[in-house]
Structure formats: C-alpha cells, structure tokens
Amino acid sequence: MTSLRSFLKGEKVIKVEDRLSPEYEIGKVLLRNQDLPIIFENVSGSEFKVVGNLCSTRDALYRALDTGKEEYNEKVINALENPVSPESAKHGRCFDEKSKSLDDLPILRHFRGDGGKYITATVVVAKDPEYGRNVSVHRLMVLDGGRMAIRLVERHLYMFHQRAEEKGEPLEVAIAIGVHPAVLYAASFSPPEGYDEFGLANSLLDGGLKLAKCETVDLTVPENAEIVIEGRILPRERVDEGPFVDITGTYDIVRKQPVIEVTQISHRKNPYYHALLPGGREHKVFMGMPAETKIYGELKKVVSVKNVCLTNGGCNWLHGAVSIVKKRENDGRKAIHAALAAHKSMKHVVVVDEDIDVFDAEMVEFAIATRFQALKDAVVFPGAKGSSLDPSADKNAITTKLGLDATKPLDRLKDFETANME
Ligand code: MN
C-alpha cells in the first residue's frame, strides 16, 4: 500500500480516453478539473499514461496520510520525531523497463510563457559524505533528450551540490516520479539538514516503504516508483532556467541554474507519469501543508494551538489563520510572532479563538469583524524578509508583515457570547 497505484485504487478518478498532447492540452484539462485525480489513458507521442491532480484537495492528502483535519499535524510531528529507516527491496520494479531519452516521457509544457517542458512531481534523492541522504522536490526544465536544468533553492540539495562542486565533482542524483503521495509529501517537507526524508515517508506509511538500488548511481529509490531518472548534477555548469509559473500563478524569474546529465531512464511496466500542475491546487497542497505543520510545531512551544491553515486565497503560502485556546491575554501576540517566525514567507496572519474554524474563510472574517480592533490588535512588521513569490514585495523580497489578533479579550468574554436556542 505504498505505491502511487495503491493510492489511486482507493480514490475516485476521472479517465480521459481521448488522445491528448502533453503540449498544453493535458495541462488545460488538469487546470479545469481540479477536484479529482485524472488519468490520461492516451497521450500523443508517448507510451506512458499521465496522471494529475492526485492530491488536489486537503482531504485527499489526509487520506493519503491516513489521518484527518484535526489529527493531521500531530500525526506528522510524531512521524517526524520517529522516522523509520526503509528496508531494502530485493527487486526494484521501477527498473523493469528502460527508456532511451527524456523525449520518450510525456513531459508537459504547461503555459505559453514557460521556459520549456517541465518535470514537476519529482522526488530527488542525493547523498553527501557528511550529511547523508537528502530527498527533496525540484522542478526540472528539459534541455534536450539527456539533459535538464534543476532549480536549486538554497536548501539542502543546493548545499550538497556546492560541496561537490568545490571538489570539482559532479553530484549523483536519482529522481523518482510517480510515488505514493506520502513520499512526495515527505520530500516536500524540509526538516533540518542531515534528516533523511525517506525515514519520515516510511513512518507515515507504517514502515511499508522499500528502497531499491539504482543501476548507474550509488543511491536508492522507492522500488515501486513509476519512473526513475538517474544522473549527475554537473559542477561549474549553469544555464538559464525559467520562466516558470509558481504557486501565486505569476511567473518566477529566469536564473542561472545547474544542469543534470542523465545516465539512465527506467520505469515500471505500463508506467504512469505524475504531472503536477504549476500553480494548481495540488502544487499548493504539497507546498502549503508541510508549512502548516511547521507553524503548528513552533506555535505548540508557546501557546495552546488548535489548528493552522495557510488559506486558499493566500495561495496556501502567504496568508495564515491560526486557532488557539487562549489562556492569557498576550497569547494572541505570542502566536503572531511565533507563526511569522516559523514560516518566513507568510505576510499576514490572523489569530482566532478555538470556536473559529480556520479552514472556513467566512468564520475567520467574522472573527476579524467582531473581535478585532486595529489600533490595539494589529502588529505591523515593516521591512521584513518575506516571500520572493509575492509580486508586491520588493526585489529582495522585503515586505511589510501584519499580524491580526482576532481573539476575544479575556476580561470582556461576556460581550462576545453569541445567541443560541438552547
Ligand atoms: Mn532535507
């Protein structure tokens, strides 16, 4: 029960029989039908099936992690604190068949202004002599049949590549595409350096994840991955990467980024290619939900936190709503400071009482309308480092942040009682 296929078996899916092109056509259908997973049975120019919108709702990801809205954060934090090393597989089904070129894969071209065809649902595995294994998600822009540009945000894989480059060496990578959502979720999480994200994935999957040895690089991948691309990030080589649509739906800029030279492409029999639509709801689920858990974990240290939501209207990245069980008058402010510190990209955060459902935008607005006074309940942070994805921030992502304490004042609780029929 740890494969993409096993997850899909339990889900309602839409099947598209028409032969569609990975150039714009499949992306357009994914964009217009984001409620359910879609399988494209016939893809022009490729033998592979395409699947998208696998987890384009919170509920789908809760199902993938075998949890629910109220238990989700605690479940993930528990798994983070208790990672389980995956066992080795005798045979890797992901190596059963081979492809010669990236051109054999149904890699989508999404939007007209994109820099190229992009692989998006990637689980990139690498190793560093000191830090061990790292598993992370990176967009890959196809350069030709055997080379791709990889976007390395300055986190762990970036550091591994820098360290290899200093020695003049390439960095081996293995890219798994088409894995169980729990694996993609764990790869989307960024625990501290040296933490093996496969241990988190395996803990979330109750110890069922098995890894198989790659054939041209010294790395392991989930044996039931649909597709595996092996290769090396080259030292001292950079190419233009982008433009690319990010979660705000606006274009990320073109940057000089490193190049992967592919050494082997393999796949399961009758493979599925997972296409994650840039700026789509699935993209937001996999980026936003791990961040919610990080915020929850930090809030837990200072207040009695109930739940955290990075809201849909805020691109599941820039706006947060946090509910707390308020015990002391300054808990609202404490929560504002802790939440903004936990997720640096968050620009506005609203803190509400436990009776407000943070996933219900109307209720959150109700709390602001009836429990918030800007002069005493707003906390403004000018000149703060925010998200590079917010087009309203300046070039260096400097922005003004705002916290709204929309909790009821403890000394006037009686004034806030709502009428009921009991
Ligand atoms: Mn990492």
Instruction: Give the model confidence (pLDDT) of 133-162 as tens digits.
Output: 999 999 999 999 999 999 999 999 999 999
DSSP letter for each residue of 85-125: PPEEPSS-GGGSEEES-GGGS-PPB-STT-SS-EE-SEEEE
pLDDT on residue 320: 98
Q: What's the CA-to-centroid distance between 117 and ligand 1, angstroms?
A: 26
Q: At what angle do helices 72-81 and 197-204 cross, to 10 degrees?
A: 130
Band the pLDDT of 418: cuts 50, 70, 90.
Answer: confident
Known catalytic residue at 246: yes
Measured from the Cβ of residue 59, the count of other Cβ atoms closer than 10 Å reads 12
Structural tokens at position 388: 């590079």
State what percent of residues in the chain have pLDDT above 90: 96
CA 89: distance to chain centroid? 26
Q: What's the CA-to-centroid distance between 125 and ligand 1, angstroms?
A: 10
Segments in 25-108 forming alpha helices (H): 25-32, 58-64, 72-81
Nearest to 351 by CA among 383, 326, 387, 317: 326
Nearest to 280 by CA among 17, 26, 69, 19: 26
Average pLDDT (213-220) is 98
pLDDT on residue 410: 95
Whether the per-residue pLDDT at 283 is higher than 90: the answer is yes
357 or 389, which is more confident?
357
Average pLDDT (221-228) is 98
Instruction: Give the model confidence (pLDDT) of 103-121 as tens digits.
Output: 999 999 999 999 999 999 9
Q: What's the CA-to-centroid distance between 249 and ligand 1, angstroms?
A: 26
Whether the per-residue pLDDT at 335 is higher than 90: the answer is yes
Phi and psi at residue 180, to the nearest 5°: -60, 140
Question: Which secondary structure element, helix H or strand E, spans residue 158, and what is its range?
Answer: helix 156-166
Could you tell me the domains of the chain? 4-281 (2.30.110.10), 300-415 (3.40.1670.10)
Q: What's the CA-to-centroid distance between 314 and ligand 1, angstroms?
A: 25
Whether the per-residue pLDDT at 244 is higher than 90: the answer is yes
d(CA 205, CA 219): 21
d(CA 326, CA 324): 6
Ramachandran quadrant class, 387 (left: phi over 0; alpha: psi -120 to 50; beta: rest): beta
Q: What's the CA-to-centroid distance between 133 and ligand 1, angstroms?
A: 8
Long-range pairs for 298-302 at CB < 8 Å and ≥24 separation? 298/338, 298/339, 298/341, 298/342, 299/324, 299/335, 299/338, 299/339, 299/342, 300/77, 301/338, 302/334, 302/335, 302/338
pLDDT on residue 421: 85
Instruction: Give the model confidence (pLDDT) of 66-114 as tens digits.
Output: 999 999 999 999 999 999 999 999 999 999 999 999 999 999 999 999 9
Q: Are strands 220-222 and 210-213 parallel, antiparallel or unpaired?
A: antiparallel
Average pLDDT (188-205) is 96
- The chain-wide mean pLDDT, for the chain, equals 97
Instruction: Give the model confidence (pLDDT) of 45-54 as tens digits.
Output: 999 999 999 9
Side chain identity, residue 9 = K
Prior bond of 192 cis (ω within 30°): no
Is the separation of the CB atoms in 392 and 399 below 8 Å? Answer: yes
Whether the per-residue pLDDT at 12 is higher than 90: the answer is yes
Q: What's the CA-to-centroid distance between 275 and ligand 1, angstroms?
A: 22
Residues contacting 413, CB < 8 A, separation 6+: none
pLDDT on residue 115: 96
Q: What's the CA-to-centroid distance between 122 and ligand 1, angstroms?
A: 14
State what percent of residues in the chain have pLDDT above 70: 100
Q: Given 246, 353, 377, 405, which residue is catalytic?
A: 246
Residues in the chain: 422
Q: What's the CA-to-centroid distance between 156 and ligand 1, angstroms?
A: 5
